[in-house]
Amino acid sequence: MNCLGGRQLEGLQQQALHTSTPAVAPPCMHQAHRARHHRSRLQPAAALQPSQAGFSQAAAAASKHSRPSVAAAGRSRGRSVVVHAARDFYDTLGVPRTADKKAIKQAYRQKARKFHPDVNKDPGAEDTFKAIGEAYEVLSDDNKRAIYDKFGEAGLKGDAFGGMGGMGGFQSANPMDIFESFFGGGFGGGFGSMGGQDARMRPGENETYELQIDFLDAVFGCKKELEIMHLTGCKTCTSSGVKPGTKPSNCSMCQGTGQLIQAVRTPLGAFQQVTTCNRCEGVGQQFTPCDRCGGDGRERETKRIQLTVPAGIDNGARLRVKGEGNAGRRGAPPGDLIVYIRVKDHAELRREGIDIHSDIEISYVDAILGSLVKVTTVDGPVELKIPPGTQPGTTLLMAKRGVPRLGANNVRGNHNVHVRVSIPKQLSSEERTLIEQLKEQQAKTRVGPFRF
């Protein structure tokens, strides 16, 4: 026991927190065994029961540095987890620690408008919006702010480094509720609350369907009957997933929150490791599953629906049919049906935006003298006047014979007719005689060299 002095014992205590490799090799096998024995006993005490001073230092260090790397915390147990570094709520709102309530409120207004998911379509906007709401909820409440200033974010959980469990004394409000208290829900939309409630009321998944339509159906619109397969509410348990005659209860592992949280201390600061409860899968309840749906609250069903395809729709467009996707679990709202449009090619017509293009071939005589030709359009055959002297490669415009603009059917594109002139490689003797006579006639009337 003498070979493990105060300094060496402290070193082992730090190793129990941060590394699995001993810093000092024991001088003998007996002492090495005793050292390992001490280290195994010291680890839970050091990792799970820090002093109040140590906790305050960790929280202060975490807020002092910008955003520590969390890669090591995520790899430590060989499983995929969500790791949150201790956040600086003042930095999130962009206010100093001395800011009063008025400044905090004003900062929240500006940032919430900027990062609202219905306004800001950046991939990270929704997460930022949630973080802004959480920061405002804490800093606008005197009691929560005092706890946060003293102990950091972990102090709001009511169990600093206390191991696994629920959210403790602090439950974040729905960021959208906070926003609507300011702006009255003017942006619409929104997203679910956090924790187990989010898992319980998450909307159903969207279903997809690929619809192939004819060229002219895309131009003028049409109605189609679709047969879709989707998940609908279970009729036996009325979408609850619970076996009839039984009642659900709060999950004994997460205490009904749907999440498990563990605080971890590292050399980089304090971290929170958040995972979905593996017992209730984030629902927050445990129950006897329905025999028909297996506890999912849904069953697969075939359904026919009527779809209106608007005029002017183009290949690759998507139509969203609200509420015709999969039913949500346990009474949550359904998802949507996303219909992908595939437009068949036309034998004679091509489309570019709202304009139509086609090709015609005329004889050299018609190109010289002019004529009337029938042209296939989206409205049917239409006579087109070929002006005398039309050159090969000329494009003739048929105004307002194109595609109606999507959402504005009174506006139509044009039909562009591209002219090709056919010149025969062989002539009959009579044709040749006539052309030679024409050549002689033009030679008499023209001054200078003439080429035919």
Residue 448 is predicted with a pLDDT of 55
Residue 404, Cβ neighbours under 10 Å: how many?
21
Pairing status of strand 285-286 against strand 249-250 = antiparallel
Lowest pLDDT segment from 64-78, 223-237, 342-356: 64-78
Residue 64, Cβ neighbours under 10 Å: how many?
9
Mean pLDDT value of segment 280-305: 90
How many Å apart are CA 131 and CA 129, to the nearest integer?
5
Tell whether the model's pLDDT for residue 212 goes beyond 90: yes
Lowest pLDDT segment from 69-78, 91-100, 345-354, 371-380: 69-78
How many Å apart are CA 186 and CA 179, to the nearest integer?
9
Taking CA atoms, 366 is separated from 361, 371, 386, 424, in Å, by: 10, 6, 8, 13
Q: Which two tokens stand for residue 375?
A: 């042209």
Q: Comparing 384 with 154, which gets the higher pLDDT?
A: 384
Looking at mean pLDDT, say which of 281-295, 322-336, 345-359, 428-442 comes out highest. Answer: 345-359
pTM of the model: 0.52
How many Å apart are CA 167 and CA 256, to the nearest integer?
10
- Residues 83/74, Cβ–Cβ less than 8 Å: yes
pLDDT in tens, 309-337: 999 999 999 999 999 999 998 778 999 99
- Residues 120/110, Cβ–Cβ less than 8 Å: no
How many Å apart are CA 72 and CA 75, to the nearest integer?
5
pLDDT in tens, 437-447: 988 888 887 65
Tell whether the model's pLDDT for residue 254 goes beyond 60: yes
- Residues 401/375, Cβ–Cβ less than 8 Å: no
How many Å apart are CA 368 and CA 419, to the nearest integer?
13
Tell whether the model's pLDDT for residue 31 goes beyond 70: no
Q: Comparing 191 with 310, which gets the higher pLDDT?
A: 310
Looking at domain 350-425, its CATH architecture is Sandwich (2.60)
Half-sphere exposure of 314 (CA within 13 A, CB side): 13
Taking CA atoms, 153 is separated from 56, 68, 128, 134, 345, in Å, by: 11, 15, 17, 11, 60
pLDDT in tens, 153-162: 777 765 443 3
| Phi, psi of 358, deg, nearest 5 | -150, 165
Q: Of 183, 194, 102, 175, nearest to 133 (Cα)?
A: 175
Half-sphere exposure of 116 (CA within 13 A, CB side): 21
Q: Of 69, 16, 66, 25, nearest to 44 (Cα)?
A: 16
Which stretches of 182-250 are assigned E, i.e. beta strand? 207-213, 222-233, 249-250
Mean pLDDT value of segment 141-157: 82
Tell whether the model's pLDDT for residue 191 goes beyond 70: no
Q: Of 213, 212, 218, nearest to 403 (Cα)?
A: 218
Tell whether the model's pLDDT for residue 206 goes beyond 50: yes
Tell whether the model's pLDDT for residue 117 goes beyond 70: yes
Mean pLDDT value of segment 294-313: 94
Residue 161 is predicted with a pLDDT of 37
How many Å apart are CA 173 and CA 435, to the nearest integer?
90
Residue 330 is predicted with a pLDDT of 75
Residue 182 is predicted with a pLDDT of 53
Residue 281, Cβ neighbours under 10 Å: how many?
13
- Residues 130/175, Cβ–Cβ less than 8 Å: yes
Residue 125 is predicted with a pLDDT of 87
Residue 118 is predicted with a pLDDT of 73
Lowest pLDDT segment from 35-49, 125-139, 364-378, 431-445: 35-49
Task: List CB contacts of 91: < 8 A, sequence separation 6 or more.
Answer: none
285, β-bridge pairs: 250
How many Å apart are CA 444 and CA 441, to the nearest integer?
5
CATH number of 55-187: 1.10.287.110
Residue 200 is predicted with a pLDDT of 55
Q: Comparing 280 with 364, which gets the higher pLDDT?
A: 364
How many Å apart are CA 237 and CA 244, to the nearest integer?
6
Q: Which amino acid is at 244?
A: P
Give the DSSP per-residue string, 154-190: GGGGTSTT--S-S-TT--PPPHHHHHHHHHTTTT---
